[in-house]
């Protein structure tokens, strides 16, 4: 080659004084370009591998939040720890600036006097309830010894000390009722019902007080209210039976008396009232059987004898009436039997010669016995008369047979 001409097709050599990379792209750019070209050539982008650092940060944040929440829960549930933390933080007192802070006042949440736990509260409540129960039991023992007024004063004193309770109010109402202060007992039971309407004992007590005050209708409603919710027991049906008899609802009274006998089959009072209901409802045979059985067992009361006499009279069994009167004067007080003849419902019996002859022997104070010979006289009542259990009249209205 002439004149040192350079061959355009020959490669450059280092001796030419120029860098071999002169005029070319940097290596990293070349690599990226190669990737792009490869991706475009293949038609599928190759994803770049991502680092795991964001997931690690999220996990650490969750652990930190959980730890803070657990610490806050422990501090809140532990008052002593909360006080310790507050003292560690060195919270300044509310005293004037420059003055020494006053010692913290003792409170229910201070470490020296922590708030009582649930178990401590339950123990305290149980102890108070036991103390109240012991006071009521002691008052009942005092009532049994005839110290009812002293017992009432003791209960009132405890209530005045701020230790009043529902049981204490019921106990005071019971004692007032036993002392004859029926109106105060009625008001006390009504007050308990206003406070705790579901208290069955208060309803029964109110029914008893109203019955004693002569309000049979109100007594029946209160007793029925107690029976509706159950748990009234014998006391509830007893008062309900008496109240139903008082208002003349003998069918209702008989139903209550039967329930009473289911709970207490040996109750003479319940059998007497059931016999009275049979008598008032015109079921004379049932009344005669029930009351006659009581008398045959030797358990008959004055009501048993009286109602059986009336049942025999309605069935025109005058000889049985005379015989029963002789039995009654032996078993009961003679003055009580004499008083029967002044009753309006004895009018028909007083007109019978057999009954009248026995009655005069009883009134004159003769010593009656079952062997006493009765006059052989019988007569029929012209018509049945209503039975009204009204108080006895002063005038017995009897005439001697010889004066007729």
Q: Which of 151, 207, 160, 213 is nearest to 182 (CA)?
A: 213
Helix-, strand-, coil-residue percentages of the chain, each rounded to 5: 65, 0, 35
∠ CA(62), CA(65), CA(68), 5° rounding? Answer: 150
CA gap 140, 17 in Å, rounded? 128
CA gap 12, 351 in Å, rounded? 167
Q: Which of 75, 80, 86 is nearest to 117 (CA)?
A: 80
pLDDT at position 295, please?
95
pLDDT at position 369, please?
46
CA gap 226, 203 in Å, rounded? 6
Specify the 3-state DSSP secondary structure of 335. Answer: helix
CA gap 339, 151 in Å, rounded? 40
pLDDT at position 2, please?
41
pLDDT at position 84, please?
53
Regions of the chain with pLDDT less than 50? 1-17, 20-21, 30-31, 33-44, 92-98, 105-109, 368-398, 403-404
142-163: per-residue pLDDT in tens?
A: 888 888 898 888 888 888 877 6
Cα separations in angstroms, 329 against 177, 338, 342, 392:
34, 9, 16, 17
pLDDT at position 74, please?
67
């Amino acid at each position: 080659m002439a004149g040192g001409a350079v061959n355009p097709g020959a490669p450059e050599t280092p001796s030419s004084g120029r860098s071999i990379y002169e005029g070319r792209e940097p290596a990293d750019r070349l690599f990226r370009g190669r990737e792009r070209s490869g991706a475009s050539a293949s038609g599928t982008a190759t994803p770049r591998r991502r680092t795991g650092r964001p997931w690690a940060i999220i996990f650490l944040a969750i652990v930190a939040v959980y730890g803070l929440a657990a610490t806050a829960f422990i501090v809140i549930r532990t008052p002593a720890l909360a006080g310790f933390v507050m003292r560690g933080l060195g919270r300044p007192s509310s005293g004037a600036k420059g003055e020494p802070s006053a010692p913290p006042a003792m409170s229910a949440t201070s470490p020296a006097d922590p708030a009582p736990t649930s178990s401590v509260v339950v123990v305290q409540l149980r102890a108070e309830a036991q103390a109240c129960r012991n006071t009521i039991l002691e008052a009942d023992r005092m009532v049994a010894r005839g110290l009812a007024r002293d017992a009432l004063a003791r209960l009132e004193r405890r209530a005045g000390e701020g230790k009043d309770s529902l049981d204490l109010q019921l106990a005071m109402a019971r004692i007032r009722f036993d002392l004859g202060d029926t109106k105060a007992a009625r008001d006390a039971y009504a007050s308990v019902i206003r406070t705790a309407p579901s208290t069955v004992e208060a309803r029964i007590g109110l029914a008893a007080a109203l019955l004693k005050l002569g309000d049979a209708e109100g007594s029946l409603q209160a007793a029925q209210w107690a029976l509706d919710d159950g748990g009234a027991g014998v006391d509830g049906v007893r008062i309900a039976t008496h109240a139903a008899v008082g208002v003349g609802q003998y069918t209702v009274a008989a139903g209550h008396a039967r329930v009473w006998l289911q709970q207490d089959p040996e109750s003479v009072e319940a059998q007497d009232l059931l016999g009275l209901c049979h008598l008032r409802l015109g079921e004379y045979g049932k009344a005669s059987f029930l009351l006659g059985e009581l008398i045959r067992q030797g358990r008959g009361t004055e009501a048993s004898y009286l109602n059986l006499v009336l049942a025999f009279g309605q069935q025109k069994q005058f000889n049985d009436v005379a015989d029963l009167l002789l039995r009654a004067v032996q078993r009961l007080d003679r003055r009580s039997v004499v008083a029967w003849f002044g009753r309006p419902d004895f009018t028909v019996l007083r007109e019978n010669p057999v009954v009248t002859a026995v009655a005069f022997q009883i009134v004159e104070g003769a010593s009656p016995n079952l062997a006493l010979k009765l006059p052989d006289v019988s007569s029929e009542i012209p018509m049945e008369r209503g039975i009204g259990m009204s108080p006895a009249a002063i005038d017995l209205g009897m005439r001697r047979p010889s004066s007729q």
